Every structure is written in structure tokens, then in C-alpha cells.
A and B are shown apart, each in its own frame.
Chain A
Amino acid sequence: MLRHLLEGLRRPLTESKPDIDPDLAKLAATLDATARRRLGRSLAIRQVDAGSCNGCELEIHALNNAFHDLERFGLHFVASPRHADVLLVTGPVTKNMREALERTWQATPDPKWVVAVGDCGADAGVFAGSYAVVGGVSAVVPVDLVIRGCPPTPTQLLQGLLTLLG
């Protein structure tokens, strides 16, 4: 039985590295060179949902499946902000999550980058203007990279994260 199951994964499903979007690459070139040297070719990512509808989370999860296999690029998700180099933040930041996001950011050691994910992370999307929403991620913590989309596809997420590695 186990042999049969392993068989299913033997033909590799993993797809080749996506091309980097030139616009994103330009953006990444402006990132702090010292930090880039320090963080090298491996990034520990802490995902923070600051108000998302959970659509972005589904696609971030998909980065771990056999097709996208995020870890082959040296990118991996960690359980604590204290282990993280990158905060991957989704959602319009709600007023009820603002403090939790700030404290997560403060708990992340320098050098660190913040990536805002999704149209909501960029500018609060369809939830902009609500009494319960602060705004996009940059309204609360400094943002280094924005990956738009509702939700962004795993390929778009991968393209964005790979630009951080340069």
C-alpha cells in the first residue's frame, strides 16, 4: 500500500522556477543590499493574517504542494516571528488585529522584510473605508514588497518571494 502511494509522487510534479516579473525585480533591487547579503539564499517566512477572508491563506498553503514546492528555493514557513526573516502579511489590517500585527513585527529580529499580500494587503481592497479597518499593511508596518491579486496565484506569490532572494 505504502509503495503504491509513494509511486504516485515518483514522477515529479514539481514545476520549473517561474520567470521573475521585471516590475517586481525592479522593486526588489531597491531593497536593502546589506540585508540581502546577510540573509543570503534562505528566507524564513512567518505568515500573519491581519484580517484576510482566508482566500490568500489558501493560495499561500498551495506554495507547499508538490507542484510549487517552495522549500527547494530555500524558502520555508516558520512558527514564530522570532525565527523569521520575512513577514508575509495578508488582509486589510483590521482594528482588532492592529496591535497583534505591530507586536509580531516588533518580535521579528532585524534585518527583516515585510511582504504585503493580496489586494487587501495592498490597500484594503473591497474593505477600504470600513470603521473596523485600518487600511493596507503599510498603514501599520513598513512594507518592502507588495504582491497584488485577489487572491494572488501561487505562481505570483512565488515570483514575488523569489525577487527577495535576487
Chain B
Amino acid sequence: MTGLQDLLKQGRPVFGSAPWPRHEVDIVVWERAIDALAAGTVTLLSVWGEVGRAHMALLGEADPCIAVLSLECADLVYPSIGRLHPPAIRLERAMRDLFGLNPIGLPDTRPWLDHGRWEGETPPAASYQFLPVDGEGLHQIPVGPVHAGIIEPGHFRFTADGETVVRLEQRLGYVHKGIDWLLAGAPIARAHRIAGRISGDSTVAYGLAFSQAVEAALGIQVPPRAVWLRAIMAEMERIANHLGDFGAICNDASFSIMLAHCAVLRERVLRCANVCFGHRLMMDRIVPGGVDADLDPDRVGLIRDLLAEIGARFPPLVSLYDNMASLQDRTVTTGYLKPDLARRFGAGGYVGRASGRDFDARRSPGYAPYDTLAFTVPVRSDGDVNARVWIRIEEITQSLSMLDQLLKGLPPGDTVTPFDPTGAAGEGIALVEAFRGDLLIWLRIVGGVVERCHARDASWFQWPLLEAVIEGNIVADFPLCNKSFNCSYSGHDL
């Protein structure tokens, strides 16, 4: 059993990586790390590249629980992680598209984010080979990239046997905006604005992760009041998104009154955010060094009113959900995700927690102020759409309680630590809990500008699992399964 500590002992620590270490390793240690991933003794947090170098971030159990291993890739090749550990496959395909690093032994060598259009040409439609399907009576249903609803673009290729889906293959990358290369060389302030727009629904979480990574890299201490205000925004974002999802999942089972009620509550959260923080989605309010907003006592009162309103109106909606046989008929046993798959893929958020993966970045590795708050992390093992709904319901309840504690304990003082980025240098990592799961940002600052920044949305490990859970379900249940995952296209396509 090779743990994270054993791997680190065999590498050379890189100076200036905070708060977790990064080690340069040779090819032997890199292969050992892949074996450890395949054996399940460590969990993959991300894989990314830069010119001439591949990195993997790992999650272990002892302290330090997180570390980055880096391999210099002479001749632009390196041993593939996905060869033995499938969760890495899409990340490695993307890394090859973006940085030209060739993973030796990668089972799937098709491009992923690169659709062959970046140089301005239009490739023939058939140039992307979907996986072959063979069997009597099977038919295919191509969906997207433009979907019927108000949602992001992506292509789903269903193979069905009558009503039953026997395989789903996703093709993503349609909203690839070149974020990795836009961030490279950007001044910190500009990079921060871009990071806040990687996935709009998680703009607070991205602002938080980016800021924490910059602060770690440059050794900036954030004032306590700012830390508390950040958590208030993060929990408001979580509640707003979970409310939206709860309504939308029920709506996909044609129970639209739930959407009507949840949309009202969601709108109340956004309006409160607008009055308190000056933006409905609280975009750009968390900044490196602190926050660009403050709460006076009147506004604290507004958030209290909001908590009271949701506290009164939400429980009847939950009992309606729980007692409506026609709804339960659609959500219970639908889209079952095996706990073993959730564990192997390191599935974050409600996807992992509904399938027995007891992980929440707010608790472990943990970050302030959550170490001072009382909260529980809901975990279930039934793994179906219903379980993912219930995790959201319980997380809303937890977030309401956290907001109550945060408002009571809000310390006085400054809201930002000013810093001068001129000439600053360092490396930082942050792992924060966005509403859909753990979000990792790693960056290196050289001469006051971001040299390289990598963001890994929870969606990277959730999208492939959606392909797995739809198998054996009817086509009509796909919207329910999809909404219960609610993966980000933009956060994934970058």
C-alpha cells in the first residue's frame, strides 16, 4: 500500500508551494502514484499540464492530505494516468489538446476540447468517431449541442434498445473559451475577473478558490471579517443553487408547482444578495486579500428575514416532495450510481455524498471559518435521483444554520488586506466546496502576473458518471438524471 506520504518521500519538494507541497518526481515515482490511484489508496484531485511538464494533485489521508506531483516531460511524452485510472482520461485528453503533452498508453486518443476549429477551419461532421455500437434492434438518438431548454450546449449520443438506454456517450467542449491560455500571463486583477466567469452559477466559489490560491502563494493574511463575509456569500450561493435544482428536478418529472415555489425562494435569495453585496450572483465580490463588500446591521437584518422566510416556506415543499407518490415514482431507484464508482472517481458534492462518499472540502481539509461552525455533512448510500435530491434538501438546512451562526459571530474590523502585486511570486493551491462539489485551483505567480492557473470543476469527475448511471434507464428519465447531477458545461469546457 503506497500512501501519499510514501510518494512524497521519493520526490524533491519545490520551494514556495503553499499551503500544500508540490514535489518534482521521476518517472518511477509517477508510475507508483498511478498504481496507488488504481489501488484506491489515494484519490485523484486533478491532472493538468504546462509547457513541458505534467502535474497531478492527489488526496490522501494523513497530513499533508493534499500534494501535487510534477513530472518533467522530455520529448513531450509521459506515462498515462488514465491507462490504469479511468477518471484521468478526459483530463489527459484535454491536456494533450491544450499543451501538446502525449500520454503514453492513454486508452482513448481522440481529441476532447479541440474540435478541429481553432485555426478557423470547419472539419467534416463525421471527423469525430463516436464509440462503435453493435447489436440487433439498437437505434441512436443524437441530441445537441443546442438543446431544447435554456441550458448550456453539449452533445449526447444515446444508443437505445426500445425505450431503454444501453449507452450514453457525451461529447463536450462546445463552450471552450481558452481560459487556461487567457489566464496565462494575465495580471492578478484580470485573472480574477476571468476566474469568476469560469462557471457563472459558482462564481462565488471560483472567486473564493482563486483568492485563496493567490493568498497562499503570496502569504497574504485575510482579515477575520472578510473570512466570515466570504462564507456568508458562499452559503447563500449554495442555497440559491440547491433551491433552483430542487425545483428543476421536480419540474423534469412534470411537477411544475415545485419549480414555481422554489424559483420564488431562489429569487428572494438573489434579491437579498443584490441589496447586501451589490450583485445578484455576488460576482467579483470576493477578491484576493478579502472582500469588496460589507454588511451593515440593517443588511444583516435582511439576511435574517430571508432565513426566516426560507425556514418557514421550505419544509412544506419538502413534505410535498416526500408525500407525492407520482414524484417518488420517478425519482426513487432512477439513475443509480454505485458507491464504488463514486469513490473511484472521487465524485464531489451531492453526486458523491448520495453514493456514500463522505467528503466535504469545508470539513476536510477544511478552511476558515468552517472550523468554528457546527454543521454535519449529509451522506446516503442509495445513490439514486431521490438521494441526490435529499442531499440537497439537507444541505439547504445545514446552510441555513451556518448562515445563522455566521451572522451571530460576524467579527468587526477590516474587510480587505491591501497588497502590492508588483514583482510578487509564489505557488498556491486551494480546494473549496462549491455547491456542486469540491473545486480545485492551482496557480503560479511570477513577477506579479499569473504564469499558469489551472481550475478543476467538480463536473470533470461527475460527467463520466452520468454516462454510467443512465444505463438501463428509459430515455424519458434522462432529464431527471441529468438535472440531479447538474454538471457545469462551462466549468468543464474551460
Instruction: Give the interface of A toward B (CB within 8 A).
Output: 1-2, 4-6, 8-9, 13, 47-62, 64-67, 77, 79-81, 91-92, 94-100, 104, 125-127, 129-133, 150-151, 153
15 A-B residue contacts at CB 8 Å?
A: A5-B261, A5-B317, A49-B152, A50-B153, A54-B200, A55-B200, A57-B151, A61-B150, A65-B263, A77-B150, A96-B176, A127-B194, A150-B283, A151-B281, A153-B274
Determine the distance from Cα of A96 to Cα of B112 in the docked complex, in whole angstroms. Answer: 11
CB distance from B151 to the nearest CB of A (A): 7
Residue of A nearest to B120 (CB): A95
Q: When the two chains form their complex, are residues A13 and B146 in contact, meaning their CB atoms are under 8 A apart? A: no
- B117 contacts chain A at the CB level, 8 A cutoff: yes
Q: How far apart are A136's CB and chain B's nearest CB, in angstroms?
A: 13
Q: How far is the CA of A64 from the CA of B174 in the complex (A)?
A: 26
* Chain A positions within 8 Å of B175 at CB level: 49, 51-52, 91, 94, 96-97
Docked-complex contact B490 and A58, CB < 8 angstroms: no
Q: Are A151 and B200 in contact (CB under 8 A)?
A: yes
Q: Does B423 contact A (CB under 8 A)?
A: no
CB-contact partner of A48 in B146, B181, B198, B320, under 8 A:
B146
Residues of chain B within 8 A of A1, CB atoms compared: 316, 319-320, 323
A53 and B178 in contact, given A95-B118, A126-B193 (Cβ under 8 angstroms): no
Query: Which residue, of A6, A91, A97, has the highest number of chain B Cβ atoms within 10 A?
Result: A97
B12 contacts the other chain (Cβ, under 8 Å)?
A: no
Residue of B nearest to A13 (CB): B264
Minimum CB–CB distance for A152 against chain B, Å: 10
Q: Report A-chain residues with C-beta under 8 Å of the C-beta of B493.
A: 96
Q: Chain A residues with Cβ under 8 A from B280's Cβ?
A: 59, 153
Q: Within 8 Å CB of A65, what residues of B?
A: 260, 263-264, 266-267
Q: What 0/1 pattern do residues 226 to 263 of B give for CB contact below 8 A with A?
A: 00000000000000000010000000000001001101
Please tell me which one of the listed residues B152, B153, B244, B261 contacts residue A8 in the complex, with CB atoms under 8 A apart.
B261
Q: Chain B residues near A132 (CB, 8 Å)?
A: 118, 176-178
For the complex with contacts A5-B317, A54-B201, 12 further pairs of A-B residues with Cβ separation under 8 Å are A49-B152, A51-B174, A56-B200, A62-B270, A64-B263, A91-B175, A100-B145, A126-B182, A127-B178, A132-B176, A150-B283, A153-B280
Q: What B residues does A130 contact at CB under 8 A?
A: 177-179, 181-182
B261 lies within 8 A of A52 (CB): no
- Nearest chain A CB to B486 CB, angstrom units: 10
Given A1-B319, A130-B177, A132-B177: A53 and B148 interface contact (C-beta under 8 Å): no
Whether the pair A100, B267 counts as a contact (CB closer than 8 A) is: no
Q: Which residue of B lies closest to A47 (CB)?
A: B150
Whether B489 is near chain A, meaning CB under 8 Å from some CB there, is: yes
Instruction: Quote the shortest CB–CB distance from A67 to chain B (angstroms).
Output: 5
Q: How far is the CB of B58 from chain A (nearest CB, A)?
A: 29
Most buried by A among B120, B150, B316, B490: B150
Q: Which residues of B contact A59 (CB under 8 A)?
A: 280
**Contact partners of A49 in chain B: CB under 8 A:** 151-153, 175
Contact indicator B148/A55 (Cβ below 8 Å): no
Shortest distance from the beta carbon of A80 to any chain B beta carbon, whole Å: 7
Q: How large is the interface on B (under 10, 10 to 19, 20 to 34, 35 or more residues)?
A: 35 or more
Q: Would B146 and A55 count as touching, CB distance under 8 A?
A: no
Measured CB to CB, the nearest residue on chain A to B316 is A4
Q: Report which of B115, B173, B178, B263 forms a contact with A66, defined as CB distance below 8 A.
A: B263
Rounded to whole angstroms, the CA-CA distance of A83 and B280 in the bound complex is 32
8 Å CB contact of B267 from A4, A9, A67, A127 = A67
Q: Cα distance A126–B203 when bound, in Å? A: 14
Contact of A104 among B146, B179, B203, B488 (CB under 8 A): B146
Inter-chain contacts of A6 with B (CB < 8 A): 257
Complex alpha-carbon distance, A66 and B265, angstroms: 10
Point out the residues of chain B lying under 8 angstroms from A60, CB to CB: 150
Q: How far is the CB of A131 from chain B (nearest CB, A)?
A: 5
Contacting residue for B281 out of A5, A55, A129, CB 8 A? A55
Considering the complex, give the chain A residue whose CB is closest to the CB of B274: A153
What residues of A have a CB within 8 angstroms of the CB of B270 in the complex?
A: 62
Task: Give, as a whole number of angstroms, the nearest-CB distance from A106 to chain B.
Answer: 12
Interface membership of B167, Cβ < 8 A: no
**Inter-subunit contact B264/A127 (CB<8 Å):** no
The docked-state distance in angstroms from the alpha carbon of A48 to that of B145 is 10
A131 and B118 within 8 A (CB): yes
Query: Is the Cβ of A54 less than 8 Å from the Cβ of B489?
Result: yes
Q: Is the CB of B178 within 8 A of A131?
A: yes
**Chain A residues with Cβ under 8 A from B190's Cβ?**
126
Fill in one digit per residue for B167-188: 1 if any A CB lies within 8 Å of its CB, else 0.
0000001111111011000000
B122 close to chain A: CB less than 8 A:
yes
Contacts of B150 in A (CB 8 A): 47, 57, 60-61, 77
Contact: A133 with B178, CB < 8 Å? yes
Residues of chain B lying within 8 A (CB to CB) of residue A153: 274, 280
Instruction: Say yes or no: A97-B266 contact (C-beta < 8 A), given A8-B261, A9-B260.
Output: no
Residue B344 is within 8 A (CB to CB) of chain A in the complex: no
Closest to A60 in B: B150
Q: Is B355 on the interface with A (CB-CB < 8 A)?
A: no
B149 at the interface (CB under 8 A from A): yes
B313 sits at the interface (CB 8 A): yes
